[in-house]
């Protein structure tokens, strides 16, 4: 058992020593802070109709635990994925394949390492929640049991299931990273949309028993009140103008077993995936290409004649950026399975026929998010494939290669958004067209800046998912493409941020080139 413990700890240390993890911790702390809206805030997170709970220890504990459960279920897979791929790339997998560790034991250690990574974020959120209780609970007593129970029964089972699901998805979809990322997005999107009508034992997030108890508390206080539960960041005018005292819930045995069940489901997923795990067998991962058999035909070969250099065409140097843009576009187009372009074409068709507001605010950000695997390594694929020593030593890599990568990404974003821009241009709403153009420039430069800063693609995947989720939730501060905000001031702000991102990208890349 001790050797598996050492493997889990080593895997945990390797994952936590990255910019993506540190920034995710910072985002988690800020997320915990905004989960409890201060007085006078123009948004709410958990409310029952027009009622919201007073900020005592039980309310803060349950709200932060529920929101953290949903938050980590949505972004967790993008933070902890590729754990098996990393062993394959570093050669550790070849060593693991020769040891006595079974497939189930290996996958379980990977799932436990991922679980510890997400549990670290839960710990930071818990500490922030303690601070919020000290600051905002006022004269209400600190209820330790009702403050701890939601983290033990809501958040931890969800985090374990997400860790197991991430490992299982990598076993079955290790060749299709794009499909895996999209699958996570739509799976948890469907789970969130079915949250209102799902039975408590089938709730992955574990919030259903709590919302039912809150609803009963409000109805006990006001029998005729509208106590419809709402969970999530709801921006705009604050409708929850009445308060009620929530003192926690008494968990039944069935509800506790329902939460333990999801941890058992995670173990079952790991066991099933261990039966199909390739165990780093290259022949199973890649189909062996059979060499064609050529018949030996005796023929007389003519001797090579002397090559006349004067007869060869003159060498002409081409320092244009256009060949680089063409090459980057081809790589973006060919990345991922070809059938994914059918989904992209379907999204472009939806931009034509859907109501223009829905097309702009929901379909466009989702369509752009489907390109997350293409944009995430737009400026880091040279390092990933270990050819940056050659590309950085080429002629003017800072003013030729990097701008070509940015231009290729922008062209792809604009091509996908063309149907919507044409619809706006047809009704002479050119400010919306400029907003979409500014948004495409911003998101590509954001991908390049985050990639060059972190040296990988995982951080951008996490932040891009947050942007997409917040835009679907209609958060004004996350709008980068004019879905909610518009006007010249908005365009000036996005243009200024894009310039800062471009400057940061070029400065970081310049430092990298000088170090090579």
Please give the structure tokens belonging to residue 126. 């818990």
Nearest Cα residue to 174 out of 262, 281, 20: 281
Summarize the confidence of residues 139-151 as an average pLDDT.
87
Q: Which residue has 């409000």 as its token pair? A: 218
Residue 470 confidence (pLDDT): 85
Q: How far is CA 476 from CA 54, 209, 238, 450, in A?
A: 26, 31, 15, 22
Q: Which residue has 């702009």 as its token pair? A: 360
Residue 287 confidence (pLDDT): 47
Residue 435 confidence (pLDDT): 94
The answer to whether residues 79 and 24 touch, using CB atoms and an 8 Å cutoff, is yes
Q: Is 372 left (phi over 0), alpha (psi -120 to 50) or beta?
A: alpha
At 302 the three-state DSSP class reads coil
Residue 14 confidence (pLDDT): 83
Model pTM score: 0.78
- Is the pLDDT assigned to residue 296 strictly greater than 50? no
Mean pLDDT of the chain: 85
Residue 472 confidence (pLDDT): 85
Greatest Cα pair distance in the chain: 101
How many Å apart are CA 450 and CA 379, to the nearest integer? 9
Q: What are phi and psi of 51, to 5 degrees?
A: -110, 145
Please count the helices (runs of H) and the strands (runs of E) in the chain.
Answer: 23, 4
- Is the pLDDT assigned to residue 384 strictly greater than 60? yes
Residue 200 confidence (pLDDT): 81
How many Å apart are CA 61 and CA 130, to the nearest integer? 8
At 243 the three-state DSSP class reads strand
3-class secondary structure for 397-456? CCCCHHHHHHHHHHHHHHHHHHHHHHHHHHCCCHHHHHHHHHHHHHHHHHHHHHHHHHCC
The answer to whether residues 277 and 285 touch, using CB atoms and an 8 Å cutoff, is no
- Is the pLDDT assigned to residue 376 strictly greater than 50? yes
Q: What is the arrangement of strands in the sheet containing 51-53, beginning at the earlier edge strand?
A: 229-235, 43-48, 51-53, 242-244
Q: Which residue has 């109709």 as its token pair? A: 49
Residue 236 confidence (pLDDT): 59
How many Å apart are CA 308 and CA 138, to the nearest integer? 92
Q: What is the DSSP letter of 476?
A: G
How many Å apart are CA 442 and CA 370, to the nearest integer? 17
Lowest mean pLDDT among 1-10, 202-211, 458-467: 1-10
Q: Is the dihedral of CA 211, 216, 222, 227 positive or negative?
A: positive
Q: What percent of the chain is predicted at pLDDT more than 70?
A: 93
How many Å apart are CA 142 and CA 130, to the nearest integer? 10
Residue 466 confidence (pLDDT): 86
Long-range contact set of residues 25-29: C-beta below 8 Å, sequence gap at least 24: 25/120, 25/121, 25/124, 27/462, 27/466, 28/68, 28/71, 28/121, 28/124, 28/125, 29/124, 29/125, 29/128
Q: Is 232 left (phi over 0), alpha (psi -120 to 50) or beta?
A: left
Q: What are phi and psi of 484, to 5 degrees?
A: -115, -50
- Is the pLDDT assigned to residue 350 strictly greater than 90? yes
Please give the structure tokens belonging to residue 415. 């091509």
Residue 2 confidence (pLDDT): 66
How many Å apart are CA 485 and CA 471, to the nearest integer? 11
Summarize the confidence of residues 226-231 as an average pLDDT.
80
Q: Which residue has 């995430």 as its token pair? A: 376
Q: How far is CA 382 from CA 160, 242, 386, 462, in A?
A: 34, 56, 6, 21
Question: For 59-214, where are the E strands, in sequence order?
Answer: none
Confidence band for 282, pLDDT divided at 50, 70 and 90: low
Q: Per-domain residue ranges for the chain?
A: 2-285, 322-515
- Is the pLDDT assigned to residue 308 strictly greater than 80? no
Q: Quick one: the chain helix, strand, coil %, rounded to 5?
A: 70, 5, 30
At 319 the three-state DSSP class reads coil
The answer to whether residues 242 and 53 touch, using CB atoms and an 8 Å cutoff, is no
Regarding predicted confidence, which is higher, 364 or 287? 364
Summarize the confidence of residues 33-51 as an average pLDDT.
82
- Is the pLDDT assigned to residue 18 strictly greater than 80? no
- Is the pLDDT assigned to residue 250 strictly greater than 70? yes
Residue 442 confidence (pLDDT): 96
As a whole number of Å, the CA-based R_g of the chain is: 27
The answer to whether residues 46 and 132 touch, using CB atoms and an 8 Å cutoff, is no
Nearest Cα residue to 280 out of 110, 114, 455, 457: 110
3-class secondary structure for 159-171? HHHHHHHHHHHHH
Choose from 157-161, 196-200, 341-345 the range with maximum mean pLDDT.
Answer: 157-161
Q: What percent of the chain is predicted at pLDDT more than 90?
A: 37
| 368, burial (CB in 10 Å: exposed 0-12, middle 13-18, buried 19+) | buried
Residue 228 confidence (pLDDT): 81
Residue 354 confidence (pLDDT): 92
- Is the pLDDT assigned to residue 288 strictly greater than 60? no
Please give the structure tokens belonging to residue 250. 């008494």
Confidence band for 302, pLDDT divided at 50, 70 and 90: low
- Is the pLDDT assigned to residue 410 strictly greater than 90? yes
Q: How far is CA 301 from CA 232, 296, 306, 307, 328, in A?
A: 77, 14, 15, 17, 42
Residue 295 confidence (pLDDT): 47
Confidence band for 303, pLDDT divided at 50, 70 and 90: low
């Amino acid at each position: 058992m001790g050797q598996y413990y050492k493997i889990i700890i080593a895997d945990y240390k390797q994952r936590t020593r990255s910019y993506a993890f540190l920034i995710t911790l910072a985002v988690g702390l800020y997320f915990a802070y905004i989960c409890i809206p201060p007085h006078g805030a123009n948004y709410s997170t958990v409310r029952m109709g027009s009622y919201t709970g007073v900020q005592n220890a039980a309310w803060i504990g349950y709200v932060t635990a529920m929101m953290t459960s949903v938050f980590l279920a949505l972004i967790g897979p993008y933070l902890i994925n590729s754990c098996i791929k990393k062993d394959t790339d570093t050669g550790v997998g070849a060593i693991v394949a020769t040891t006595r560790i079974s497939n189930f034991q290996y996958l379980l250690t990977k799932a436990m390492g991922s679980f510890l990574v997400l549990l670290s974020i839960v710990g930071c959120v818990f500490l922030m929640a303690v601070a919020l209780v000290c600051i905002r609970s006022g004269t209400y007593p600190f209820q330790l049991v009702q403050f701890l129970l939601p983290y033990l029964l809501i958040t931890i089972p969800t985090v374990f299931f997400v860790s197991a699901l991430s490992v299982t998805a990598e076993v079955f979809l290790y060749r299709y990273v794009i499909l895996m990322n999209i699958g996570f997005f739509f799976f948890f999107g469907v789970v969130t949309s079915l949250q209102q009508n799902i039975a408590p034992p089938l709730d992955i997030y574990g919030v259903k028993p709590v919302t039912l108890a809150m609803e009963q508390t409000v109805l006990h206080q006001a029998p005729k009140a509208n106590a419809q539960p709402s969970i999530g960041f709801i921006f705009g005018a604050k409708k929850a103008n009445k308060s009620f005292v929530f003192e926690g819930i008494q968990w039944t045995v069935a509800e506790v077993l329902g939460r333990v069940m999801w941890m058992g489901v995670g173990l079952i997923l790991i066991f099933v995936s261990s039966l199909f795990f390739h165990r780093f067998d290259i022949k199973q991962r890649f189909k062996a290409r059979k060499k064609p058999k050529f018949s030996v035909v005796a023929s007389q070969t003519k001797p090579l004649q002397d090559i006349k250099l004067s007869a060869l065409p003159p060498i002409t140097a081409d320092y244009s950026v256009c060949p680089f843009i063409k090459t980057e576009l081809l790589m973006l187009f060919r990345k991922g399975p070809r059938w994914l372009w059918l989904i992209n074409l379907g999204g472009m068709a939806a931009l034509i026929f859907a109501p223009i507001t829905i097309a702009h605010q929901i379909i466009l950000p989702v369509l752009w998010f489907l390109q997350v695997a293409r944009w995430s390594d737009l400026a880091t694929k040279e390092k990933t494939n270990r050819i940056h020593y050659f590309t950085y030593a080429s002629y003017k890599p800072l003013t030729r290669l990097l701008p070509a990568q940015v231009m290729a990404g922008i062209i792809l974003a604009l091509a996908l958004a063309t149907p919507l821009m044409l619809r706006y241009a047809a009704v002479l709403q050119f400010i919306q067209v400029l907003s979409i153009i500014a948004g495409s420039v911003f998101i590509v430069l954001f991908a390049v800046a985050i990639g060059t800063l972190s040296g990988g693609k995982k951080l951008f995947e996490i932040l891009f998912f947050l942007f997409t989720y917040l835009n679907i939730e209609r958060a004004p501060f996350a709008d980068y493409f004019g879905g909610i905000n518009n006007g010249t001031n908005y365009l000036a702000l996005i243009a200024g941020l894009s310039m800062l991102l471009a400057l940061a990208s070029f400065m970081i890349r310049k430092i990298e080139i000088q170090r090579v």
